[in-house]
A and B are shown apart, each in its own frame.
Chain A
């Protein structure tokens, strides 16, 4: 049974109905890619998973988003532990204003690293997971802002992995990066899907084709079509999806 499930989910900003009757299950340990034209609600859906959407004013929701069977929007949900289950990558990398080491150690530290925990080991482990270790091992205590954008994004990935999430949320994680850095992130994703469920938003259809196992196509706040990548991207059922994957609408 998939551990991420969206159940008749609706979201409003004030009176604007942004997400409409979203009903979809995300397959475990695969890369699910959300595609759709600009403004269709991809970011909003992604931020609903870890309730970062709460930072906006006047948000109303109904329906449920279940993570491991627990509704993240239920009243007594523990936000911190829900968010801890999901790593987040943003459009641009935003390293925290501290050293490379401290960025990765940030998560374990705020969650109260168990006594005798091996922080150095953890940092090394997750930097390796994010394929960054070899590039930074000599300057762990340099400010994270000194890294290149591509390295920063992988640092953000390592930072997210360090709180031991089950899921990785990524909102157009390569849109600020050059092709080489993009390729490294994609490769890392494919490596990571053995142990994590990855949900990524992208604008780039070719990227979707390269990495997606499962595809969700959204249009004006609705999920129009979802299914295995090969099916949605090559043989879509709906006309809108066809138009989108053929580049007629964008």
Chain B
């Protein structure tokens, strides 16, 4: 923006100098945050290069053999652990979270809505260790003593099911908050228009509100998924951490974040071990980024179903 030629400020030269130096500073700061993202990606790629150059990427991703001391760095069971626990969490969390958000926003009175939203907001801030702890106190015994026996199965309780349950409770607030925000953005007059035609509330929700909200709701679910993929502490505490492909929900899993948390930083003298852990971090990051970037693009393009007015 051009400065006007007449500048009634006293410290003119000093002001101009400050303006220029501030601009440089701000530019550097903006470059810096881009640099962080780039360097994370580059760093993980470079540091994991030794292992994926030697073993090939498909070889690593598809092999189930995890035996670092003998050079077995197959990631498959960890990837499956992450995929299954995330999938289970989303299946358990998304439908009730979406339904409950709709209930709060479209059915409940303003008071209940505000109270509910506040509570959810508070719970979204609870750290994952606390969720993990709660998993150990409540969910693991529940699975061990009640749910598994009901199917006639013996389990320690540290298993895929517990992991999915704890994750689902963690992402419910995440999904709900975003769905509520999306519903907030839909003009009330649309609901009025539908109701005025004699539609029931549910018809209005189903045919009008959901039609407007579904891109946003999908983004909310994607956000929940990306949260679940990257969650570490809670998963580490309840998943059981056995590197194998589980044959039922009552068997332990070993998601990628737990693998990293358990082994990274110990700097064992096993060749390629460090590089393999970097590779697992890269895989994890890639999984999260796919969802995040997808969500980003989706939010940009699909805001409220092509409505123009």
Asked, given contacts A98-B211, A143-B306, whether A110 binds B199 with beta carbons under 8 Å apart, the answer is yes
Contacting residues of chain B (162-197) with chain A, CB-CB under 8 angstroms:
187-197
* Complex Cα–Cα for A81 and B307 (A): 29
- Give the shortest distance, in Å, between B285 (CB) and chain A (any CB): 36
* Complex Cα–Cα for A171 and B208 (A): 21
Q: Are B308 and A96 in contact (CB under 8 A)?
A: no
Q: Are B193 and A97 in contact (CB under 8 A)?
A: no
Q: Are A107 and B192 in contact (CB under 8 A)?
A: no
Max chain A C-beta neighbours (<10 A), residue from B190, B193, B307 = B193
Q: B195 touches which one: A52, A87, A92 (CB < 8 A)? A: A52
Please name all residues of chain A whose beta carbon is closer than 8 Å to the beta carbon of B109 when the two chains form the complex: 57
Interface contacts (Cβ under 8 Å), in number, total: 87
Contacting residues of chain B (265-309) with chain A, CB-CB under 8 angstroms:
304-309
- A154 close to B (CB within 8 Å): no
* Complex Cα–Cα for A97 and B206 (A): 12
Asked, given contacts A94-B189, A97-B304, whether A83 binds B197 with beta carbons under 8 Å apart, the answer is yes
- B118 close to A (CB within 8 Å): no
Chain B interface helix/strand/loop/mixed:
helix
* Complex Cα–Cα for A203 and B65 (A): 77
Could you tell me how many residues of chain A have their Cβ less than 8 Å away from some Cβ of chain B? Answer: 33
- Give the shortest distance, in Å, between A174 (CB) and chain B (any CB): 16
Looking across the interface, which residue of chain B has its beta carbon closest to that of A156?
B193
Please name all residues of chain B whose beta carbon is closer than 8 Å to the beta carbon of A83 when the two chains form the complex: 195-198
Q: B306 touches which one: A97, A110, A160 (CB < 8 A)? A: A97
* Complex Cα–Cα for A149 and B309 (A): 8
- Give the shortest distance, in Å, between B189 (CB) and chain A (any CB): 4
Interface mask (A84-109 → B, CB under 8 Å = 1, otherwise 0)? 10111010111111100000001100
- B203 close to A (CB within 8 Å): yes
Looking across the interface, which residue of chain B has its beta carbon closest to that of A152?
B309
Asked, given contacts A94-B187, A143-B306, whether A84 binds B208 with beta carbons under 8 Å apart, the answer is no
Q: Are A90 and B189 in contact (CB under 8 A)?
A: yes
- A10 close to B (CB within 8 Å): no
* Complex Cα–Cα for A143 and B187 (A): 18
Please name all residues of chain A whose beta carbon is closer than 8 Å to the beta carbon of B211 when the two chains form the complex: 96-98
Looking across the interface, which residue of chain B has its beta carbon closest to that of A81?
B198
Please name all residues of chain B whose beta carbon is closer than 8 Å to the beta carbon of A110 when the two chains form the complex: 197-200, 203, 207
Q: Are A86 and B207 in contact (CB under 8 A)?
A: no
- B212 close to A (CB within 8 Å): yes
Q: Are A159 and B304 in contact (CB under 8 A)?
A: no
Looking across the interface, which residue of chain B has its beta carbon closest to that of A51?
B195
Q: Are B198 and A84 in contact (CB under 8 A)?
A: yes
Q: Are A96 and B110 in contact (CB under 8 A)?
A: no
Contacting residues of chain A (108-143) with chain B, CB-CB under 8 angstroms:
110-111, 143
Q: Are A80 and B193 in contact (CB under 8 A)?
A: no
Q: Are A50 and B196 in contact (CB under 8 A)?
A: yes
- B16 close to A (CB within 8 Å): no
Please name all residues of chain B whose beta carbon is closer than 8 Å to the beta carbon of A92 when the two chains form the complex: 189, 309
Q: B197 touches which one: A55, A90, A107, A143 (CB < 8 A)? A: A107
Please name all residues of chain A whose beta carbon is closer than 8 Å to the beta carbon of B70 when the two chains form the complex: none
Interface mask (A166-188 → B, CB under 8 Å = 1, otherwise 0)? 00010000000000000000000
- Mark A residues whose CB is within 8 Å of B: 50, 52, 55, 57, 80-81, 83-84, 86-88, 90, 92-98, 106-107, 110-111, 143, 145-146, 149, 152, 156, 159-160, 163, 169
List 18 additional contacts besides A86-B196, A106-B199; criterion CB under 8 Å.
A50-B196, A52-B196, A55-B192, A57-B110, A80-B199, A80-B200, A83-B198, A87-B196, A88-B197, A90-B192, A92-B189, A94-B192, A94-B309, A95-B309, A96-B193, A110-B203, A110-B207, A159-B197
Provide a sorted-by-A list of 16 A–B residue pairs whose CB atoms are within 8 angstroms.
Answer: A52-B196, A57-B110, A84-B197, A87-B196, A88-B196, A94-B189, A96-B190, A97-B211, A97-B305, A97-B306, A143-B308, A145-B306, A145-B307, A152-B309, A160-B197, A163-B197
- For the complex of A and B, list the 7 residue pairs with the smallest distance between their C-beta atoms, beginning with the closest: A84-B198, A88-B196, A145-B308, A94-B189, A107-B197, A83-B198, A80-B198
